[in-house]
């Protein structure tokens, strides 16, 4: 799937939390958020796509997940935080090149043919959260468990996967069918990624030594050398050049998104516009990580992941004839199923360190709702989602708002902004209120009460927004006509 990822180190955030965030851009996939208790976690897993079967450990943790409502193609859990306060998002589809894929082919399902038995494929986005998140107690452990699975079973697609805990954020990128590379995000940095193999620096000596900030396949050096993969000059080691792609399609679909995010994060320390710009929307050298010009909050992430190139000539909603309107693929896109920010905080009790900011549907028009994750169950408004359209849940209500507002953007964008702000402000207020209550009483079960109030608030504000947007969209129907028009 095509997605956009943002990773924030603890010293780059406004509250010293770590954050990992990703848009899950499927094909209008119907999503929900729920809690998986240990007794509901499978002990033998079978992939719907690759048919690989994997025995799972007996000691899973509780975790949140945002699976597909329709199970026919598998779980696709997407993102979550477990009860050990470890977050995970999987996966960002990334690109590679023929040299890598020929040297270590992707492990795809080979169906039975004649007398030949079926040969299962490897693991992929459908599977990875379920196979990893319930069994890890740190971000670093997440890398190690996923690496073991990749080496044993392989993968049928190229992906980037993020993990975070209270102190660290790790990013792993697959290389071919079985190889991988992983790096700890610098504490003062923000990583931006948009469907490309993105890592642009890696310390092999650390990866094969102390592993303080780098890890990789044990045979990565030999793999690169024996397959003549190294394109770097002068002794440099840039994984993006070795393992990534350099296609014209990247310039339209991928790099413009990183340009917009980098432009937002470092408007003063780098030049992003004009004839003397260091980076433009089609640059192939936009840094993988940047030290932001100011601290980053969850609202900054939601702004970037809701982007449609506002303030640039590429905005598809601009009324100006720029000649470049809609030229590049927006970050906020129509077919997004779910977007989340997994935030692990450090200044609150352990029981409530994990907050997941959930947004359903097109991020441009939807609201972001913060939720406590260490709870036994999510409210009905968030978890009881059907395949049929209904205003009784958050997912479909957000989808309806987006579909209507898109057609009359100029007339509705202020109403959308008011709706998003109302949910954000009240959501923040409730989280602050219950952080204090839980710290004072030691009663972590109050998080469940807080989530019920958060869901109720979101339902009320979303209902108000639906009423307003529907009226505006109805007034702009093309068949409008009054007696006075004659």
Give the catalytic positions in this structure: 3
Task: Report helix, strand or coil for 292.
Answer: coil
Distance from C-alpha of 293 to C-alpha of 55, rounded to nearest angstrom = 46
Contact 110, 118 (CB under 8 A): yes
| CA dihedral sign of residues 276, 277, 280, 284 | positive
C-alpha angle 290/295/300, rounded to 5°? 85
Q: Which two tokens stand for residue 49?
A: 């796509």
For residue 372, is it left (φ>0), alpha (ψ between -120 and 50) or beta? beta
Instruction: Enumerate the β-bridge partners of residue 2.
Output: 25
Of 239, 285, 237, the residue nearest 262 (C-alpha): 285
Distance from C-alpha of 62 to C-alpha of 98, rounded to nearest angstrom = 40
For the chain, the distance separating the N- and C-terminal CA atoms, rounded to the nearest angstrom, is 51
Distance from C-alpha of 24 to C-alpha of 207, rounded to nearest angstrom = 30
- For residue 208, CA distances in Å to 37, 104, 174, 218 come to 37, 21, 18, 8
- For residue 483, CA distances in Å to 122, 472, 475 come to 65, 20, 15
In Å, the largest CA–CA distance within the chain is 82
């Amino acid at each position: 799937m095509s997605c956009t990822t943002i990773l924030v180190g603890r010293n780059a955030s406004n509250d010293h939390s770590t954050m990992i965030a990703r848009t899950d851009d499927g094909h209008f996939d119907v999503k929900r958020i729920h809690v998986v208790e240990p007794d509901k976690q499978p002990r033998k897993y079978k992939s719907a796509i690759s048919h690989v079967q994997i025995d799972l450990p007996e000691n899973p943790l509780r975790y949140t997940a945002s699976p597909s409502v329709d199970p026919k193609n598998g779980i696709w859990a997407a993102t979550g935080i477990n009860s050990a306060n470890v977050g995970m998002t999987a996966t960002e589809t990334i690109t590679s090149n023929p040299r890598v894929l020929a040297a270590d082919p992707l492990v795809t399902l080979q169906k039975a043919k004649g007398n030949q038995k079926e040969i299962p494929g490897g693991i992929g986005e459908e599977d990875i959260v379920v196979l990893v998140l319930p069994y890890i107690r740190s971000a670093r452990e997440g890398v190690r468990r996923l690496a073991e699975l990749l080496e044993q079973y392989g993968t049928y697609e190229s992906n980037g996967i993020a993990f975070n805990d209270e102190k660290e954020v790790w990013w792993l990128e697959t290389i071919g069918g079985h190889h991988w590379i992983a790096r700890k995000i610098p504490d003062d940095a923000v990583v931006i990624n948009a469907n490309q193999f993105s890592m642009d620096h890696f310390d092999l000596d650390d990866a094969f030594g102390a592993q303080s900030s780098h890890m990789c396949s044990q045979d990565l050096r030999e793999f690169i050398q024996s397959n003549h993969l190294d394109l770097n000059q002068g002794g440099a080691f840039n994984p993006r050049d070795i393992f990534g792609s350099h296609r014209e399609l990247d310039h339209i679909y991928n790099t413009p998104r990183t340009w917009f995010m980098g432009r937002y994060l470092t408007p003063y320390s780098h030049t992003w516009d004009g004839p003397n710009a260091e980076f433009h929307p089609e640059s192939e050298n936009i840094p993988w990580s940047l030290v932001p010009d100011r601290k980053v909050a969850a609202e900054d992430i939601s702004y970037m992941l809701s982007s449609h190139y506002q303030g640039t000539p590429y905005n598809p909603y601009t009324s100006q004839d720029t000649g470049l309107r809609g030229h590049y693929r927006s970050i906020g896109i129509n077919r997004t199923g779910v977007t989340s920010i997994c935030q692990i905080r450090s200044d609150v009790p352990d029981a409530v360190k994990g907050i997941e900011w959930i947004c359903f549907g097109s991020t441009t028009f939807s609201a972001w709702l913060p939720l406590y994750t260490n709870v036994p169950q999510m409210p009905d408004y968030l978890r009881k989602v059907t395949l049929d359209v209904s205003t009784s849940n958050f997912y479909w209500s957000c989808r309806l708002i987006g579909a209507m507002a898109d057609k009359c953007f100029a007339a509705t964008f202020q109403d959308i902004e008011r709706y998003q702000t109302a949910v954000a402000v009240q959501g923040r207020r409730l989280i602050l209120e219950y952080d204090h209550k839980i710290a004072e009483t030691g009663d972590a079960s109050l998080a469940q009460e807080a989530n019920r109030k958060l869901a109720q608030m979101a339902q009320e504000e979303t209902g108000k927004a639906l009423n307003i947007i529907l009226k505006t969209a109805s007034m702009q129907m093309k068949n409008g006509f009054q007696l006075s028009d004659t």
